[in-house]
Chains A and B, each alone.
Chain A
């Protein structure tokens, strides 16, 4: 696995691309809510200064090529160093380790070597108390680092509405250090990619040594052979209900913990989740924010929709598990020690290295023309490239983030044209038959060889030549067939292939009567010719199947092959 995209100076990177898996599908470009993904030579990379670390690309990528950078090795090193390593686990953990597993996870964490295993909900409880004081002066209540990143990078005008209280992770880390002394290492485990970035922020320095996702935790447990089913039941270090702060990972959970009245009828209190809703919220002018509190969470459904879960399960199941776990703590047996740690934090505008909206209209027009979209009707705005419209994509090309070849309709058009040209110009006869062995397509060499014209289209091949080979393919006796035959005074070599998936048959014909060489040489050339033919055929079939995909390199290869074959024939004719 390699990361070739250069890391930008002064940025924090959280997501990397597994280049071996990245197959230019542009799904991440399409999914990225802030278009922070750049495509180079067909492969997609995250631009760190644009990225808000929401992790959407991670769970969207069908090839699993987008990965949250693992910190497992760092955590293992901390533990084996013999230092006291403390674990703070996010309240969304029952969504990943629910039901009976929830009561065994603390045991598993202790077996992994954590000396103190606590719930981040402890910090969430504290910051709720601190946040509620801001009611009336500030409106945005959120512990979501992706929302914070979004506002800092893209909507700095809204910063003045944000409640400036530390996140539960940071608050908890400070509290743990207050309780256990500074000589500890804190590892946060959660569902979130952005938390990895948050822990590395300058103002949070040295508070949290590493952040793991639940997926990383799961991987670690598997490596160590720790099965939750054979762990003893146990509790976290404290047994407290934390005033329902375990609800934080569910949309609206923070406001609930804060005690800010959340009546469905009330228009004063809003909570929303998912990138679309968050972007909408921050596109409404603050003057129209006629509510007193809003809790935006970047992932769908809240943190339970985060990218760091090991299994794909429905939000309903995850939400249910979290709620069941919350209900299992009804009492406040345990006295919560009063904490005196500073829970304030500061948010500030962040600079981006590039911005799509800064590209000039002239530049965009120029690129549109260059990429064959001079006509407005060619600007389909289909979104296949990942961008919302052709203009946006042109702007991305201008910034060097996108490539012309990402336009599917354009490429398909080009490919079709080139493909037809190659087949048509092949020195060998090519014919395509349907499932009834009727001629669907043939090239000029075939027409010339068997002296026919387009009137034979739709007729059975037996009308022209011996169809014994095709019958064999049709009956499923073979996938391919080869023979040397004579017809119309021509001695020819036929190579037939069946494409059962498409229910089509392709015949490839080489005219042998024009070859006047010595036996051995003929055989050699025959062999070579056939190999070449086979290769080109393979390529052509792939073309038919995945036209756009292989366009760039494959076309070149095919063309080279055709050229080589032509050269061979030329040699022969000398």
Chain B
């Protein structure tokens, strides 16, 4: 590497391989404002806040300018100051300045930078006609009136998560950010991870709040309100009250929630201990039988939706276990209601999660019974902190409180779920305990903040191939390799957010670069502090398995199934006379791929056959537009049986099977 110094604002600054001029300037302790620069995503250069003067001549954006020898940089000339101020003024003029009521107020970078630059008036006419707010998503609210077009959300969604549901539309002054097909965030392939919310410097993308619903429940005398706290909350919530990232404030959180009026305060880690046992048993069983491997973890709802959308063929490889939140939800609605002698409707389960996707998860129809959800409301860490502040509670001075039992008891294994690698470590501990009776075995190789962690682990006589990924783009890359047969694993842990739940979309916004690492460390410290580290040692859990659970309700309460989320959500098009009760139901895919592969010919042959056989009266025929099996078309469904690479012969065989059984 070339070593040389450059001059920044009369200071000599040594070049140490910085990837751009902005990093050099920040190293020199000059806090150049930016909206669109994030070191973990690509450089875009949209906001023009980091403009600097180089060699007295050119004015360039520092973020997208490489460092070269002999540079003399000025960051604060009169011209630059005026430029920056004017950009902010222009932003403010087209920004819906309802700051006091904005969810992002106080965490807003536009507010911050306007203050930093001393912008005290806006010389341009205020824009008033704004596009409406998008409330369609269960997790994320998008308010185009606040958007400053920095494009951070676009790049995070595309680059970190490989989902890419947001993009720029139109040009010039008409530019705007839209969700794909100009639909609502709740109607598209958004996985609700909330990373865009974290990246958004203003209030254009915010968390969909359920704070008021929770207050209503708390104020309702007829309801018993219980709350569960996710592992990652305890090491992050303190940040909203002046604690360093990673400081455990479990006791203070419990006390605050009790003051606010929650009847019972429990720990999601208790649910996580169940997840470890169920997922561990499932894995050991699959491993021993050699089926449905690799097994994917299923705790992360954003990853589950991602898999449902893009890897429906691998859904059988996902663990059938519910996430800790949902295991907790169903156990409390099934067992706690009996203990307390109240109905499902009168038990309100609130969960506090680091995650926006958990809001979506709690609303999945799989997780409710008689229209009553297992988990009624999901608050993010940010929302919970806001409720504490609203209550006027002096959080940092609270005397630490205690969880209620039994749902508040957990082992260290249930706590490390909140960080990438934690689920794997917990499952390995259980596997070691079950297979080799060793409850003290340590598996620390999947710790750390890397996006992809791969390794082999010996448990007793067997060697397991494991992968731990966080960030869905990393997941996609790895799964594509698995699908292509290039790599093989036995167990793959996927967390949508980089670093795991500690970096969830609902966590406090932190300017501290090490906050994610510190939060992870905090969780491992929590594990170390607890007396038990292996989920099967949890005495309350053992008691519940012995007294309340049996194979039937374990299946119902702790396991779930997944749906293939078709990319096209149209209803099937009926091709025959109406009448739903006909015994033979045929559905043919007319998607482009199937059409190209001969769906039309197949349809024609089928119609001829049905007429010949006189089956038309007994048949409902409909057309579908995609069954997500494009490469195996044409695809035909006969009474629910899917026929891939379908020919008329295969179809006739399937139809006669049905007609035989009818007659």
Q: Is B130 interfacial (CB 8 A cutoff)?
A: no
Which residues of chain A are within 8 angstroms of B43 by Cβ–Cβ distance?
Answer: none
B402 touches A111 (CB 8 A): no
Q: Which residue of B lies closest to A239 (CB)?
A: B539
Which residues of chain A are within 8 angstroms of B251 by Cβ–Cβ distance?
Answer: 100, 104, 229-230, 232-233
Which residues of chain B are within 8 angstroms of A234 by Cβ–Cβ distance?
Answer: 529-531
CA distance A160 to B375 in the complex (A): 68
Q: Is A66 interfacial (CB 8 A cutoff)?
A: no
B403 touches A117 (CB 8 A): no
Q: Mark B225-254, 1 if CB is under 8 A from A, else 0.
A: 000000000100010000100011111100
CA distance A117 to B532 in the complex (A): 11
A110 to chain B, nearest CB (A): 5
A232 touches B530 (CB 8 A): yes
Q: Quick one: which of A107, A229, A333 contacts B529, CB cutoff 8 A?
A: A107
Q: Is B526 interfacial (CB 8 A cutoff)?
A: yes
Q: Quick one: which of B400, B402, B525, B526 contacts A229, CB cutoff 8 A?
A: B400
Q: Quick one: which of B403, B526, B531 contacts A236, CB cutoff 8 A?
A: B531
A232 touches B531 (CB 8 A): no
Q: Is B401 interfacial (CB 8 A cutoff)?
A: yes
Q: Is A91 interfacial (CB 8 A cutoff)?
A: no
> Which residues between 365 and 410 of chain A lie within 8 Å of chain B, taking CB atoms?
none
CA distance A89 to B400 in the complex (A): 22
Q: Which residue of B lies closest to A334 (CB)?
A: B539
B648 to chain A, nearest CB (A): 66
B529 touches A230 (CB 8 A): no
A436 to chain B, nearest CB (A): 55
Q: Is A467 interfacial (CB 8 A cutoff)?
A: no
B399 touches A231 (CB 8 A): no
Which residues of chain A are within 8 angstroms of B401 by Cβ–Cβ distance?
Answer: 100
Q: Which residue of A lies closest to B248 (CB)?
A: A230
Q: Is A237 interfacial (CB 8 A cutoff)?
A: yes
CA distance A106 to B528 in the complex (A): 10
- How many positions in chain A have a CB within 8 Å of any CB in the partner chain? 21
Q: Mark A221-241, 1 if CB is under 8 A from B, else 0.
A: 000000011111111110100
Q: Which residue of B lies closest to A107 (CB)?
A: B529
Q: Mark A79-113, 1 if CB is under 8 A from B, else 0.
A: 00000000000000000000010011011101100
CA distance A100 to B529 in the complex (A): 15
Which residues of chain A are within 8 angstroms of B526 by Cβ–Cβ distance?
Answer: 232
Q: Which residue of A lies closest to B396 (CB)?
A: A229
Which residues of chain A are within 8 angstroms of B415 by Cβ–Cβ distance?
Answer: 232
For the A-B complex, the count of residue pairs with Cβ-Cβ distances under 8 Å equals 55
Task: From known contacts A100-B399, A100-B400, infer whether A233 and B525 are also in contact, taking CB-CB under 8 Å.
Answer: no
Q: Quick one: which of B238, B252, B400, B531 contacts A106, CB cutoff 8 A?
A: B531
Which residues of chain B are within 8 angstroms of A333 by Cβ–Cβ distance?
Answer: 539
Q: Quick one: which of A104, A108, A235 contacts B531, CB cutoff 8 A?
A: A235
Which residues of chain B are within 8 angstroms of A117 by Cβ–Cβ distance?
Answer: 531
CA distance A233 to B415 in the complex (A): 12
CA distance A233 to B255 in the complex (A): 13
CA distance A235 to B526 in the complex (A): 13
Which residues of chain B are within 8 angstroms of A103 by Cβ–Cβ distance?
Answer: 402
A121 to chain B, nearest CB (A): 15
Q: Which residue of B lies closest to A100 (CB)?
A: B400
B84 to chain A, nearest CB (A): 41
Q: Which residue of A lies closest to B539 (CB)?
A: A333
Q: Which residue of A lies closest to B238 (CB)?
A: A230
Which residues of chain B are within 8 angstroms of A108 by Cβ–Cβ distance?
Answer: 529
CA distance A104 to B254 in the complex (A): 14
CA distance A234 to B403 in the complex (A): 11
Which residues of chain A are within 8 angstroms of B529 by Cβ–Cβ distance?
Answer: 106-108, 110-111, 231-232, 234
Q: Quick one: which of B249, B399, B530, B539 contacts A230, CB cutoff 8 A?
A: B249
- How many positions in chain B have a CB within 8 Å of any CB in the partner chain? 22
Q: Mark A3-45, 1 if CB is under 8 A from B, else 0.
A: 0000000000000000000000000000000000000000000
Q: Mark B503-536, 1 if CB is under 8 A from A, else 0.
A: 0000000000000000000000110111100000
Q: Mark B143-178, 1 if CB is under 8 A from A, else 0.
A: 000000000000000000000000000000000000
A104 touches B400 (CB 8 A): yes
B528 touches A110 (CB 8 A): yes
Which residues of chain B are within 8 angstroms of A228 by Cβ–Cβ distance?
Answer: 400
CA distance A110 to B526 in the complex (A): 10
A100 touches B402 (CB 8 A): yes
Which residues of chain B are within 8 angstroms of A235 by Cβ–Cβ distance?
Answer: 531
CA distance A237 to B531 in the complex (A): 6
Q: Quick one: which of B238, B243, B247, B250 contacts A233, CB cutoff 8 A?
A: B250
B400 to chain A, nearest CB (A): 5
Q: Which residue of A lies closest to B244 (CB)?
A: A230
Q: Quick one: which of A111, A230, A236, A239 contacts B243, CB cutoff 8 A?
A: A230
CA distance A478 to B399 in the complex (A): 52
CA distance A231 to B415 in the complex (A): 14
CA distance A234 to B251 in the complex (A): 11
Task: From known contacts A100-B251, A111-B525, A333-B539, infer whether A233 and B531 are also in contact, taking CB-CB under 8 Å.
Answer: no
A519 to chain B, nearest CB (A): 61
A155 to chain B, nearest CB (A): 43
CA distance A103 to B529 in the complex (A): 11
Which residues of chain A are within 8 angstroms of B400 by Cβ–Cβ distance?
Answer: 100, 104, 228-229, 233
A203 to chain B, nearest CB (A): 32
CA distance A100 to B252 in the complex (A): 11
A232 touches B250 (CB 8 A): yes
Which residues of chain A are within 8 angstroms of B539 by Cβ–Cβ distance?
Answer: 239, 333
A232 touches B399 (CB 8 A): no
> Which residues between 224 and 270 of chain A lie within 8 Å of chain B, taking CB atoms?
228-237, 239
Q: Which residue of B lies closest to A238 (CB)?
A: B531
B420 to chain A, nearest CB (A): 20
Which residues of chain B are within 8 angstroms of A233 by Cβ–Cβ distance?
Answer: 250-251, 400, 402-403
> Which residues between 392 and 436 of chain B lie within 8 Å of chain A, taking CB atoms?
399-403, 415
A407 to chain B, nearest CB (A): 53
Q: Which residue of A lies closest to B530 (CB)?
A: A234
A79 to chain B, nearest CB (A): 13
CA distance A117 to B529 in the complex (A): 10
Q: Which residue of B lies closest to A116 (CB)?
A: B531
CA distance A110 to B251 in the complex (A): 18
Which residues of chain B are within 8 angstroms of A106 by Cβ–Cβ distance?
Answer: 529, 531
Q: Which residue of B lies closest to A227 (CB)?
A: B247
Most buried by A among B252, B402, B525, B529: B529
Which residues of chain B are within 8 angstroms of A236 by Cβ–Cβ distance?
Answer: 531
CA distance A111 to B528 in the complex (A): 7
CA distance A303 to B234 in the complex (A): 36
Q: Mark B536-551, 1 if CB is under 8 A from A, else 0.
A: 0001000000000000
> Which residues between 113 and 164 of chain A lie within 8 Å of chain B, taking CB atoms?
117
Q: Which residue of B lies closest to A108 (CB)?
A: B529
Q: Which residue of A lies closest to B440 (CB)?
A: A115
Most buried by B among A111, A230, A232: A232
B625 to chain A, nearest CB (A): 52
| Interface CB pairs A-B, < 8 A, 29 | A100-B251, A100-B399, A100-B400, A100-B402, A104-B251, A104-B400, A106-B529, A107-B529, A110-B528, A110-B529, A110-B531, A111-B528, A117-B531, A229-B252, A229-B399, A230-B238, A230-B247, A230-B249, A232-B250, A232-B526, A232-B530, A233-B250, A233-B251, A233-B402, A234-B529, A234-B531, A237-B531, A239-B539, A333-B539
List the 9 closest pairs (A to B, CB-CB), nearest first.
A107-B529, A234-B530, A230-B248, A232-B526, A232-B529, A110-B529, A235-B531, A230-B247, A100-B400
Chain A contacts to B: CB under 8 angstroms = 100, 103-104, 106-108, 110-111, 117, 228-237, 239, 333
